[in-house]
A and B are shown apart, each in its own frame.
Chain A
Amino acid sequence: MNSAITPADAPVVAAWPGTTPRLLRLTPGVEDYAEYAGGGGYQALDEPDRLLDEVERSGLLGRGGAAFPLAVKLRTVRDGGRAGAHPVVLANGEEGEPASVKDKWLLRNRPHLVLDGVRLAARVVGAQRAVVYVSDPLAAQALDAALAAADLDLSIGVVTVEAGYVAGEETAAVRAVNGGPPKPTDKPPRPFQQGVDGQPTLVSNVETLANLPFILRHGGEEYRAVGTDASPGTFLATVTGAGRPAALYELPHGVPVTDLLALHGVSPEQVQGVLMGGYFAGLVNRAVLDATLDHETMRGLGSGLGCGAVAILTEDCPVAVAAAVMAYFDRENASQCGSCFNGTAAMSAVTSALRDGVATEEDLARLERWSVVLRGRGACATLDAATNIASSLLKQYPELVASHLAGACDSCRTSAFSTLRPYEVEAAS
Chain B
Amino acid sequence: MNGPMKIRLDRTLCDGFGMCAKHAPGYFSNDDWGYASLRSDGTVPEGDHDAVMRALLDCPVHAIIEYGEHGPLGARSPAINAEDSSEQNLGAGDSQAIEGCGR
Mostly, the B contact residues are loop
**B11 neighbours in A (Cβ, 8 Å):** 186, 336-339, 377-379
From 335 to 392 in chain A, residues with beta carbon under 8 angstroms from any chain B beta carbon are: 336-339, 342-343, 346, 370, 372-381, 384-385, 388
- A186 and B90: CB pair below 8 A? no
**A373 neighbours in B (Cβ, 8 Å):** 31, 93
Interface residue total, chain B, C-beta cutoff 8 A: 38
- A304 and B12: CB pair below 8 A? no
Does A306 make an interface contact (CB < 8 A)? yes
Interface segment among B19-27, B46-54, B94-102: the answer is: B94-102
Interface residue total, chain A, C-beta cutoff 8 A: 60
Q: Which residue of B lies closest to A204 (CB)?
A: B103
Question: How far is the CB of A72 from the nearest CB of chain B, in Å?
Answer: 5
**B1 neighbours in A (Cβ, 8 Å):** none
**Roughly how many angstroms separate A169 CA and B103 CA in the complex, as a whole number?**
5
**B12 neighbours in A (Cβ, 8 Å):** 183-186, 334, 336-337, 379
Question: How far is the CB of B21 from the nearest CB of chain A, in Å?
Answer: 13
Question: How far is the CB of B16 from the nearest CB of chain A, in Å?
Answer: 5
Mostly, the A contact residues are loop
**Roughly how many angstroms separate A188 CA and B103 CA in the complex, as a whole number?**
16
- A76 and B77: CB pair below 8 A? yes
From 40 to 77 in chain A, residues with beta carbon under 8 angstroms from any chain B beta carbon are: 64-68, 72, 75-76
A339 in complex: contacting residue of B33, B96, B103, CB < 8 Å:
B33
- Given the known interface contacts A66-B99, A75-B79, A302-B96, the answer about A186 and B9 at a Cβ–Cβ threshold of 8 Å is yes
Question: How far is the CB of B25 from the nearest CB of chain A, in Å?
Answer: 16
- B32 and A342: CB pair below 8 A? yes
**Roughly how many angstroms separate A299 CA and B100 CA in the complex, as a whole number?**
12
Does A190 make an interface contact (CB < 8 A)? yes
B83 in complex: contacting residue of A68, A299, A302, A337, CB < 8 Å:
A68
